[in-house]
Structure formats: structure tokens, C-alpha cells
Amino acid sequence: MSDIAGDDALSRTRNPRRAEVRRTTAICLLMILLYYLVPVEPGVTGVHLAVRAVVTVVGVALVAALVLQQIRDQITADPSDVRLTRLAITLVGGVVVFALADLVISFSDPDQFVDMTTKTDALYFAIGTLTTVGYGDVHAEGQLARAAVCVQMVFSVGVLATGASLLVRQWTEYARRQPGRSG
């Protein structure tokens, strides 16, 4: 039994990137699971609505801070040290936070979004906004919802541009280190 545990520890030290990808995947799946477990019900008013709004704003601010940190890290880091896994966690966290924010807006005022009635609708809309696909079946109708979607779009551009920049930097660094390449 101890040999199996030792082999597992040895494989993690031999391939830390694989372990990092597994850890990132687990964190992303946990965030999605928590998204579905967070209680959000329609018809909330008063103090509950105020608390929900504050938590949503704080969540969006935290995601924005993570994106800005990723951009700062990407600018200052050695290209070989940059990790796309952190960006993936930020991306999934952002999608989940924005899906919850959209759902809270929709439940608080059903006229803000068209056809957003479930958590899956909100997640579908957040991913559609991130990918700029936007099928149009679920969409922002009210001014508050449109303002929230504008923030989502800025987040999307920031995360996608950062991810593309990271990929280009890593690919360039990899190509530079290949034998037979001048540079």
C-alpha cells in the first residue's frame, strides 16, 4: 500500500504540469458545482435583496481583481513561468460570478432578461456572452441587465486577450529554445 502512495508522489514530482492541470480541473468543476448549490430564488425583497446585491458586486470586483492580477503577472513574468491554468480558473470563476449576477438581476426584475428562468439559462447566457456567440434566445432587455452585460463583455475581452497573449508568449519562447533555431 505504501508503494502505491510513493509511486503517486513520485509521478507528481516527475510531471508537475499534469498535477497542476488536474488540480485546475478539480477547482473549475468545484466552482461549477458550487454555482448550482448557491441558493438563489425569485421574489426576494428587502434585506435579502440588498445582501444579494452586495455579494454580487463583491464577487464581480474579486473577479475583476483576479483578471487585473493575471494581466500584471503576464506582463512582468518570465514567459516560461506563466501558467494558463490560473487564467482558466479566473475564466471559470468569472463565468460563474456573472451567471449568478445575471440570475439575481433576472429574479429581482423579470423584465431585465428575456427567457432567463434557471441557473442553466444564466450559465448558458454567460458562456454565450464570453464566447460572443449570443444565440439571441436569452438576452438582456432592461437597462440594468444591459449594463451588467457590458461589464461581462469587458471581462471577456480582458481574459481572452490575456489568454491569447500568454499563448503567443509561450509559443514564441518555446520556438526560441528549440535546437536548430537561430535567435
User: Domain residue spans in the chain?
Assistant: 2-177
Would the pLDDT of 130 be above 80? yes
DSSP class of residue 139? Answer: E
Confidence of residue 38 (pLDDT cuts 50, 70, 90): confident
3-state secondary structure of 82: coil
> Which whole number is the average pLDDT over 125-135?
90
Share of the chain above pLDDT 90, in %: 26
- The residues, ordered by sequence, that sit 6+ positions from 49 with a Cβ below 8 Å of its Cβ are 108
Contact between 20 and 87 under an 8 Å Cβ cutoff? The reply is no
- For the chain, how far is it from start to end, CA to CA, in angstroms? 50
Choosing among 1.10.287.70, 3.30.70.890, 1.20.1250.20, 3.40.50.10490, the CATH entry for 2-177 is 1.10.287.70
Rounded CA-CA distance 137/116 in Å is 9
Rounded CA-CA distance 57/136 in Å is 26
Rounded CA-CA distance 69/135 in Å is 31
The predicted pLDDT at position 102 comes to 94
Among the residue ranges 57-71, 92-106, 114-128, the one predicted with the least confidence is 57-71
Cell of 73: 503577472
